[in-house]
Amino acid sequence: MPGQKTLFSGIDYPYIEGLRIDEAMHPLTILAVGLYGKDLLGQNGAPLRLVVPWKYGFKSIKSIVKIELTEEKPLTTWAKSAPHEYGFYANVNPKVSHPRWSQARERRLPGGVFSPNIIDTQMFNGYADQVASLYSGMNLRTNY
């Protein structure tokens, strides 16, 4: 895409993401072909995109070109770019900060300059009831 690769970028293309099989098979994980009753537009990731609502956005990849089933956990793009900042799981977790900023609060859009819409981040983005069981017994701080 035009402007995708910049001069001093830390992202190695092709963009690679991964899910555990049980995460991929979960009813909340969606392979989307449309939005609001219409076909996906380019900016929304046409023709096929992933939606994993309890994880940080960089895992919901757009314009998927290839899906592979693997034995091993893949090295995902952001974990490769900054391993101490981004992990494989990327579950929304207000208690685990990014090394350079907190993730405990969100600024929701739409929001104005004088009326910011700030809310507390919820565990698993509010889907804890549905997905927490996937990670029972796991240390969510080390498996960030």
Interface residue list for other proteins (CB under 8 A): 6-11, 81-82, 97, 100-102, 104-105, 107, 109-114, 116, 118
When the beta carbons of 121 and 130 are compared against other proteins, the nearer one is 121
When the beta carbons of 117 and 143 are compared against other proteins, the nearer one is 117
Dihedral of CA 71/57/53/90: which sign?
Answer: positive
Closest separation between CB of residue 95 and other proteins, Å? 12
When the beta carbons of 13 and 30 are compared against other proteins, the nearer one is 13
- Contact call for residues 144 and 90 (beta carbons, < 8 A): yes
Closest separation between CB of residue 122 and other proteins, Å? 17
Pairing of the two strands 30-32 and 49-51: antiparallel
Round to whole Å and give the CA distance between 60 and 32.
10
Closest separation between CB of residue 66 and other proteins, Å? 22
The Cα angle at residue 102 between residues 104 and 119, in degrees rounded to 5: 30
When the beta carbons of 8 and 36 are compared against other proteins, the nearer one is 8
Closest separation between CB of residue 4 and other proteins, Å? 11
